[in-house]
């Protein structure tokens, strides 16, 4: 069917339409993936509302203030998703390096015009209440940069052999530069996500086992040196100490985690009900609209509500891996990297709410309040759609 007005010889009374049919415009999109991300974001809006309404009311503000901001961020993220989904994935090799370099420049700008929030010099104030966290966009930039590198090197060799030593060393350079900049902020949580996403891309690229084992050992060594060398801030060391000894300093370093545990324990199986959580309404859990938003779900919706959130993340990651399975080399690496990013960040956030992992200040993907994280995740879902549309053709 063409876009010109003409008769179809196989259907003499049917005219092709000058307007592209809706089913053709929608073809290739993974609507389950889109719906899952949307449901998670809307659940997040409700949880952010529950976490902030009493606090804002006590301060004489609008109880729905953060709810409206969250929905506004979601709307912008949806627009970004739609725009990027129309991107031709064949042009990834052209724009991939640009995305990486621009993200890297954003990290560098933090040290020039950035500001410190909660101990991390990781934000750029844009005026008013608007702030930008470049490390969120670096997650996508690193994934795309590595995917283009491995795909281009394989195309130059014109074979399916595993990445060579030169390929891996080039990839390590791409990883090391943003990782170092993020650690200098210091933003340990974002550094962990960058490392997890990069490791997923390396595995998907078919890097030989000796390299992956060596990188794991190197990661452990670097972590030990970072602690011993004073690269981590005092509050980060205290967080690790409170994780290994949760019963110590419950009014200090372990306060956030202790209060989150109490909130989740209050929820029981089915929760206390929306807006009826005593810990949430009393404002006992700090940073509850961002880092500890899962404790709101645990208190007000109980074990069942928390399990639903985890199931939605599992569904989203499964759809991402399905896209990876049908994509070309570059698209597969991008899709796997995005899945590793979202899966690890969700695991880390939920884990620190449950006391299974140290507190690192990571938001819960699509659920926590925050413009930078929501925008970056919108771009990621859009890029997954672009990869799928390319694969479906």
pLDDT digits (tens, 9 = 90+) for 100-113: 999 999 999 988 88
What is the sign, positive or negative, of the torsion defined by CA atoms of 312, 316, 319, 321?
negative
| Number of DSSP helices (H) and strands (E) in the chain, helices first | 14, 5
Bridge partners of 132? Answer: 124
Place of tokens 């996508």: 140
d(CA 295, CA 354): 8
Q: For residues 392 and 222, which has the higher predicted lDDT (pLDDT)?
A: 222
d(CA 384, CA 332): 10
Q: Does the structure show a pLDDT above 60 at 2?
A: no
DSSP three-state, residue 123 = strand
Q: Does the structure show a pLDDT above 70 at 226?
A: no
Under the banding of pLDDT at 50, 70 and 90, the label for residue 10 is very low
Sort strands 114-117 and 130-132 into parallel, antiparallel or unpaired: unpaired
pLDDT score of 18: 40
pLDDT score of 13: 32
- The DSSP letter of residue 207 is -
Of 55, 54, 52, which Cα lies nearest the Cα of 66? 52
Write out the two tokens for 329: 């080399």
Under the banding of pLDDT at 50, 70 and 90, the label for residue 313 is very high
pLDDT score of 4: 38
Q: For residues 122 and 291, which has the higher predicted lDDT (pLDDT)?
A: 291
What's the chain's Rg over C-alpha atoms? 23
Place of tokens 């089913």: 23
Place of tokens 């700090």: 286
Write out the two tokens for 21: 């049919």
d(CA 188, CA 122): 11
d(CA 55, CA 62): 10
In SS3 terms, 3-65 reads as CCCCEECCEEEEECCCCCCHHHHHCCCCHHHHHHHHHHHHHHHHHHHHHHHHHHHHCCCCCCH
CA 308 distance to own-chain centroid: 19
- Quote the pTM value: 0.88
d(CA 70, CA 72): 5
DSSP element (H, E) containing 356? none
- For the stretch 234-290, pLDDT in tens is 666 666 666 666 666 566 667 788 888 889 998 889 999 889 889 988 888 888 899
- For the stretch 329-356, pLDDT in tens is 889 999 999 999 999 999 999 998 988 8
* pLDDT, the chain, mean: 84
d(CA 66, CA 20): 40
pLDDT score of 393: 52
């Amino acid at each position: 069917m063409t876009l010109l007005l003409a008769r179809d010889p196989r259907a003499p009374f049917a005219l092709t339409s000058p307007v592209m049919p809706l089913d053709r415009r929608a073809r290739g999109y993974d609507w389950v993936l889109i719906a899952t991300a949307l449901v998670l974001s809307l659940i997040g809006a409700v949880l952010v509302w529950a976490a902030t309404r009493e606090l804002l009311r006590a301060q004489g503000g609008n109880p729905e203030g953060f709810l409206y901001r969250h929905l506004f961020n979601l709307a912008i993220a949806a627009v970004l998703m739609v725009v990027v989904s129309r991107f031709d994935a064949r042009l990834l090799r052209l724009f991939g390096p640009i995305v990486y370099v621009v993200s890297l420049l954003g990290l560098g700008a933090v040290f020039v015009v950035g500001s410190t929030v909660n101990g991390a010099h990781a934000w750029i104030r844009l005026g008013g209440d608007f702030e930008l966290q470049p490390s969120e966009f670096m997650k996508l930039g690193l994934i795309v940069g590595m995917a283009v590198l491995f795909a281009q090197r394989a195309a130059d060799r014109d074979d399916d052999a595993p990445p060579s030593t030169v390929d891996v060393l080039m990839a390590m350079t791409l990883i090391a530069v943003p990782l170092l900049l993020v650690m200098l902020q210091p933003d340990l949580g974002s550094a962990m996500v960058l490392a997890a996403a990069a490791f997923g891309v390396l595995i998907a690229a078919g890097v030989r086992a000796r390299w992956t084992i060596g990188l794991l050992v190197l990661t452990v060594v670097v972590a030990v040196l970072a602690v011993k060398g004073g690269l981590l801030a005092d509050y980060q060391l205290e967080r690790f100490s409170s994780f290994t000894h949760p019963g110590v300093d419950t009014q200090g370093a372990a306060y956030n985690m202790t209060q989150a545990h109490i909130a989740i324990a209050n929820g029981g199986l089915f929760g206390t009900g929306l807006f009826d959580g005593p810990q949430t309404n009393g404002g006992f859990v700090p940073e509850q609209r961002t880092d500890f938003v899962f404790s709101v779900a645990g208190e007000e919706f109980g074990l069942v509500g928390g399990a639903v959130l985890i199931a939605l993340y599992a569904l989203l990651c499964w759809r991402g891996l399905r896209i990876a399975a049908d994509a070309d080399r570059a698209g597969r690496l991008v899709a796997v990297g995005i899945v590793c990013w979202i899966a690890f960040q969700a695991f880390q956030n939920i884990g620190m709410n449950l006391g299974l992992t140290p507190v690192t200040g990571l938001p819960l993907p699509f659920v926590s309040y925050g413009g930078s994280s929501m925008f970056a995740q919108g771009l990621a879902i859009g890029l997954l759609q672009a990869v799928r549309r390319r694969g479906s053709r």
